[in-house]
Structure formats: C-alpha cells, structure tokens
Structure 1
Amino acid sequence: MAPADGRLVSISHSPQARPREALQTELDEAIIRAAGSHRRAYALTVVHVSRSDHSRVQSSILTSSIVSQTGLGALDRLPVELLLQALRHMDMQTLFSLRQVNLRARQMVDSLKEYRAVVSYGLTAYCALLRMRLAAHVTLLGFYRLLCSQDCAFCGKFGGFVFLPLWIRCCFECIEEDPETRMVTVAEVRRLFRLSRAEVGRQRACLTMPGIYTTGLYSADKSYQRARLKLVPYFPAMKEFGDRLETGVPRSRHQPFWDPVHNFMASCELPYYDPQTQTVDYGISCVGCEARAVEGNPGQASRPAVAPWDGIFSRDNFLKHFKGCRQAQKLWEASPEAALEAIIKRDVVHE
C-alpha cells in the first residue's frame, strides 16, 4: 500500500525478478522521489475519512481463517461459481448487509479478489458510499472496474478522484468545471422543475458528510460544513425535466443556485489499482514543471499558468514525461540518488 507521503509503492515483487529489473525499479522510484510529488493535500479538501476511522474497521472488513460451522440457507444450493458471480453483481450496500449474516457469508464475500482490492485500496470511497447513502447504486464489479481504470471520464487526463453520485472517475479540475459534476440542493431542483415527491425520490440524492472542503479550484479558502445537506446532480435532472422550465420568464430564474463547494462534497480520492503489477497509483505531478511555472509567473495572484492538478501523471506516464523535461532532469542530477543510474549502466555493460 501507499506510504505516508502518498507515493506509489509496489505491493508485491516477483521472486523471479532479475537483479537488473529490480535495479531499474529502484531507479524509477528514486527519480519519482527526486522530481515528482503527490499533492495528497487535495484529498483532504473533498470527502475523506480519517486514518483512525479506517483502523477501527480494518479487522471487520476482512475475515480470519476460522472455519465456519454455519451455512447460507437456500444460497448454498447454488454452485459455488454461480454464487460468486452473483456476489460480484450485488451492490455494495447489499454486500455490506450480507456480510453481517454470519461468518460463512463473510468468507464467501471476502474470497472475491474484487472485494479484497476494493476494501484494501478504495476504502475511503467505500466508506463514503455507505455514509452518503449511495452504496445501493454501485455494484462490486462496477467498483472494481473503476478502481482499475485511471483516466478522467471527462478530459482523459489521470483521474485520481471519483464523483460519487454518478460513480465516474475524474480529475480534480473536472470536479468543479465539468457540467456533469454540478451539484445542487434537492430544494433547488424541486423549485426549478416543479417536481413531485415521487420524481424527487427517483433522483440519485446523497447526504453529505461534515468536514472541511475547498471552496474552489483557485481559492485558498476552506469551508467547514457542519450540516448534512441533501444534494442531487443537476445535469441528469436537467436532461429529464428541462422542458418544464417556464418560457417567457427572465433567464436568471432558470439558473440554479450553485455553490462550487457542493461538487467537492460529492467527490473523494480514488487511487488507480493495477491488477497485473499489484500496485496502487495516486498520481504524480512534476516538480520541475511547477518550478518553471512559478519562475515564469512570479507573484501571480490569479489562475497560475500551470496549476498543480494540471500535470498529474500515472507512474508510467510520469517516467515518460521525465525523459523530455529538462527541469525535472536537473532536479534528478542534483539528487544524491543520481549515482544509482551509473550503477545500473555499469551493470548493463557487464551483462
């Protein structure tokens, strides 16, 4: 799993890995330490769960090796392969409830690789889904597939976050700037489209969590939200009920009250999990590019030329970027770990 500084780490290493491959991996990690960084502070300005909360549930989300003496009733009549497949298609709320039935149920759920990956590397998002009453809308397979994807659904860049109501991976910038992530209160949607109680009930509403959230991409201000608000995505409601907007009234009447902080209250960090290499990636930004942007815009108070979230890379893409970024290479050359590269080149020559 990821260490305290948030950088990508290898979860397992093949015992057959050749020494040169191990050295290359060590070199890549050294380059990332010298010229890359992960802005974990952004994860604290969206929905987040404290480490102490995680530690309190760790023992209950994965079972021990105790042999169960109970069964699952009628479910035990199904072939094991069919039962496991059915579990994969269950929503996270149902799985959460099923695991509380007995030890046998827990062990069946916990035997799934998808569940183990979700609770190991996507625990913050899982907790958020449960607490915000959205878990019934996300299946285990849907959770796992999003965990194993890495691109923002809106702009294609590395997406280290998830927009919870629609369960879409996104980058930090698109949380605020894409129309599909706009959140408004239930009361505002009812006012705009004159919805009935039943129509409101069909909207994918979420109950926000108290916490400290950013007020905007280019704002240094934070907002402590004590109350639990009931929010809904504006875009789906607009597509379904947009024809109800009154004609002949001022356009301002059609514009919903929108607070950017609501978007961040409906999003949380979600790392990328690579099932082939069994690594997790929170995204890496180039310190060299950021330093060059600051030098070119000293004292700039408005939107920076390169915002920290603009250049977030996956591990592999950062290493490709590094080869063409002279500023990042200078940081590496000045690093005491740069001598490692010479050792690898020497070993390659002797092979």
Structure 2
Amino acid sequence: MEDAPEQKRILTSLAYHWTEADRAVIRFPKSRSLEYSGLFTDGGMASMGRLALLPLEVLHSILRELDFESLGTMRCLNTQSKDVVGMLPAYRDLATFAHDALRALSATGMLSKYSGKCLYFILCQDRCIGCTGFGSFLFLPTGCRCCFSCIETNPEMVVVSASTAAALFGLANEALRQITIITTVSGDYGISQKTHRKRIRIVSRQEARKVGILIHGSEEEMERAVALGIRRGNVPRENDRLPKVANRSIPQPPCANDTLRFMACTPFPYLNVQRRRIDKGVCCRGCEYNWHRRDEDFPSGYDVSQNLFRKQNKTFLRMNFSSTSKPVVRRGCCGMTIS
C-alpha cells in the first residue's frame, strides 16, 4: 500500500533514512549472495514421513516452533516439504522482508538459536526493548528490538568477549555454554567505522552475570570466587530460571569507540501485517540540520552529545512520522516546517 500524496510530501520534505546507522552494525553488500542459500534450494527426494499425514494447520503449528536453520533443512527434503515450509507465514515473511537479518544470524552462528515463531513475533512488533521509541535493530544475544540510542547507552546491551565474561563472573566452559555466544563478523563498526578483522566470540554481559549469580549462589559468592580465581561450571537445570538482577555493577555507557555493541546488532525492519508493508524507519531532517549546525547555533555549555545527537538519531515509523507532522503547521519533530 502506497503512502497518500500528503504523506509522501511530508516524508520527502521532513524525513530521511539514516544509512550511517545501518553501516554501524552487521550488514552485507547487496551484491553478496545469501549465506543461508541452502534454505532456498530445490527440494530433494527424502520423505516427510508421518508429518505428511497431518493437516496443514497442525503442521504449521509444529513448524513455527522450529529454529530457522531446521526450517531450511526441512524445506530441502522434497517438493512437498518445500511448499509446506514456503507457505508458513513466519518463514515466508522473514525470508522476504528480513533476509539480511537472517544472513547476519547465519554469519554469527545464531540461525539455530531462535524459532521462526520468535523471530516473526519480533518482526511484527515495532517497539525498542529499552525505551518507548521505534527499534530498527535486532540485538542478537537476546533476540530483541532496540534503537540506536539504546545500543549506545542501555546497560543491558553491554557485550564483552566470552573470555572476559568467564573471568568477570567465574564461569567455566560448561557455564559459558548456557549463554548465547556470538561469533563476530569482520568489518567496520560504529559511527567511527572502526575496523575489526579478527573474528571473536562475544556475549551479553548482563546474561553472563545472571548465569554467574545462579551458578555461584549469590552475587557475593560470585565476587568471592572471582577474587580467588575460582571458575565453576555447574550447569543449571532446565527448570531453573535466571534471577532478575540489578544493573548496578554494569558500568556507565562506554565511549563511542566501544564497537562491540554494534557487532552484536543488525538492521531489522518492522512488518505491518495488516498493510503488508515493511518499514525501516525514518529520522527528522530538522534534527539532522541542528546536529550539523551545532557549533554555530548552540552555546558552548549545551550538551551536544546527550541532546542533539540523541534527537538526530531518533527513528520513527513512516506512518507515525506522517501523522505527527500532518496537522496545520506540518512540522517535523523539532519544529521544522515544509518549505
């Protein structure tokens, strides 16, 4: 469904897609072939067995619980399985609208970590997990949406190398296996485009800390074990739930050169199911103008990094930006009007 003429005029005049943010995280050139191309190959000759006897609705309910890698494997069984998986909304829409995100999941070893149901739910939700704004990125360690500001500042999105997590929280190899570990992709990351040529394993610091507290019994015991150089690997039982712990021991947001956060994120569009339309988000041109003119138009005591830059990188859904800009004065979020 196309934007109405008035909406197009507003978006063209007052909004733009901030491509620098997409380049700051995991991304792939359009010319590069899909790394999970096996998901799209022709079906083989293997049989679906008893699954072929199930009604399509029941079969789809089962398939939604499979991870995306398993869905791709099943799709290659035969022509029937290829058609059945291809008709699954979660597979169809993710493969159509979020193929670059699937490529990032494949490249980081994460394609088998999340079910089609989970990824599809995130695809159809627009809110950032850390604030009330639109989240245009997927944070791979926890499989949640996030915005650019939260990637930079949210303490729950601090990531560290697996070896650092083991040392910080007294975790043996068995314990590390309970945490989602990402293998980074070489490339340039962050707004500063810092180059990382070596692939490393990284984890969410918050998730590693939760596992550490669970294994050691308490935060105090964990800190004592770390001080003594003790590493434990008691694997929590499946029914054990990770404790809710405060973020007080996680440091304040790091400097702009801390690019590990960006190496754990990838662009992730929003799918409006009713309109069958994808939305990657837009930013305000007026806020961009204020950012570039900050040295001329704002006093020296004004906190540019905490105010102007955060406004400049705030992302809106196209529909929401149009609706907030539409009344009489037709303003952008910062008050800029259509010329």
TM-score normalised by structure 2 residue count? 0.78
What is the alpha-carbon distance in structure 2 between the residues aligned to residue 248 and residue 162 of structure 1? 32
Give the AA of the match of 2:23: L
Q: In terms of Rg, which structure is larger?
A: 1
Q: 319, 322, 347: which one pairs with 2:322?
A: 319
| Matched ranges for 1:333-348 at <5 A | 334=339
1:106 corresponds to which of 78, 82, 88? 82
Given candidates 261, 264, 268, the residue that maps to 1:263 is 261
User: AA paired with 1:298?
Assistant: E
1:195 is aligned to 171
Aligned equivalent of 1:236, options 207, 211, 221? 207
* 1:298 alignment counterpart: 296
Alignment match of 2:273 (pick from 272, 275, 280): 275
Indicate whether 1:36 and 2:12 are aligned.
Answer: no
Report if the CA contact (8 A) 1:297-1:304 is conserved.
no
Query: Taking structure 1 as the reference length, what is the TM-score of the superposition?
Result: 0.76
1:19 equivalent in structure 2: none
SS in 1 for 2:22: helix
Structure 1 residues without counterparts, runs of 5 or longer = 1-9, 14-23, 215-219, 335-351
Cα deviation, residue 53, structure 1: 2.1
Q: Deviations over 1:90-122 (max 9, x none)?
A: 111211222232332222111112211101111
The structure 1 segments of at least 4 consecutive aligned residues displaced by more than 6 Å after TM superposition are 55-58
Closer/same/farther in 2, CA of residues 55 and 209 from structure 1, 3 Å limit: closer
Determine whether 1:145 maps to 2:121. yes
The percent identity for this pair of structures is 25
**C-alpha distance in structure 2 between counterparts of 1:87 and 1:222, whole Å:** 39
Name the residue aligned to 2:230. Answer: none
Q: Secondary structure at the match of 2:296?
A: coil
Query: Do the aligned partners of 1:289 and 1:327 also contact (CA within 8 Å) in 2?
Result: no
Q: Which has the higher helix share?
A: 1
Report the secondary structure of 1:273's partner residue: strand
1:311 shift after superposition: 2.9
Q: How many residues align?
A: 299
Q: 1:42-94 deviations in whole A, cap 9, x for unaligned?
A: 11110012211257877x65578x9x986412321323221111111111121
Equivalent residue for 1:225, pick from 192, 196, 200: 196
> Kindly tell me: are residues 77 and 273 of structure 1, through their superposed partners in 2, closer, same or farther at Cα, counting changes over 3 Å?
same
SS at match of 1:184: strand
What do residues 186-227 of structure 1 show as CA deviations (whole Å, max 9, x unaligned)? 11111122222211111110111111101xxxxx52211111
Q: Render the CA deviation track for 1:213-265: whole Å, top value 9, x for unaligned.
A: 01xxxxx522111111101111012123142113896xxxx879x87211100
Which runs of 5 or more residues in structure 2 are unaligned?
214-218, 228-248
